Chains A and B, each alone.
Chain A
Amino acid sequence: DAGITQSPRHKVTETGTPVTLRCHQTENHRYMYWYRQDPGHGLRLIHYSYGVKDTDKGEVSDGYSVSRSKTEDFLLTLESATSSQTSVYFCATRDAAYEQYFGPGTRLTVT
């Protein structure tokens, strides 16, 4: 395993509140990713990072922002959570051979 942890693992929050999910890796991988998984959609890319302070948008980035101040940490922020953001969120890193390693996921419920 690539040593990827996510926190929190479960969270329930109310509509309109800010939420930050944290991803931490110990493999010194340059590339990091945030995906969301919803029934019937597989995993979809939210944002990704290709280095410290270097990030870009993915397929479903509206309503989300990210930050990466250290190689090992990649934060996903929902500025004002909505019910449509109820999902399971996965962080991943990528090695030089394009293989991605996934964290255990965070189940977020927005009520």
Chain B
Amino acid sequence: AQTVTQSQPEMSVQEAETVTLSCTYDTSESDYYLFWYKQPPSRQMILVIRQEAYKQQNATENRFSVNFQKAAKSFSLKISDSQLGDAAMYFCAYKSGGGADGLTFGKGTHLIIQP
């Protein structure tokens, strides 16, 4: 079974600075997808960014980017120019390619933004 590990239960960053959230995963498959979800206090799960394993280029969405290291099975999220609205729980998730099964989530990282 696949596992996803987020080793940082909590991170704190000053507003306008850059922070990196870590995620590692374990799989024997070659075809898979990785995601970062944000969960603010409203509880809504919001997709931040996704990465297809077959793509070598790291995904970027505005201030959010990933560092995807396939051989190391690492998928970190970098948030640049942190804003107060970025404060939330962040979950890393894995999905095997093909198949109907759901996502495997890490336990989450609580991101605090210091004004």
Contact = CB atoms under 8 A, between A and B. Distances in A.
Q: Which 4 A-B pairs have the closest CB atoms?
A: A50-B100, A102-B45, A42-B105, A45-B102
Contacts of A40: 107
Interface size grouping (class) on chain B: 20 to 34
B64 interface: no
Interface of B: 4, 33, 35, 43-45, 47, 50, 91, 93, 95, 97, 100-108
Contact of A43 (B33, B91, B95, B101): B91
Interface of A: 31, 33, 35, 40-45, 48-50, 56, 58, 88, 90, 92, 94, 98-100, 102, 104-105
Contacts, number: 53
Among A41, A43, A99, A104, the one with the most B-chain Cβ atoms within 10 Å of its Cβ is A43
Contacts of A98: 33, 50, 95, 97
A80 to B, nearest CB: 25
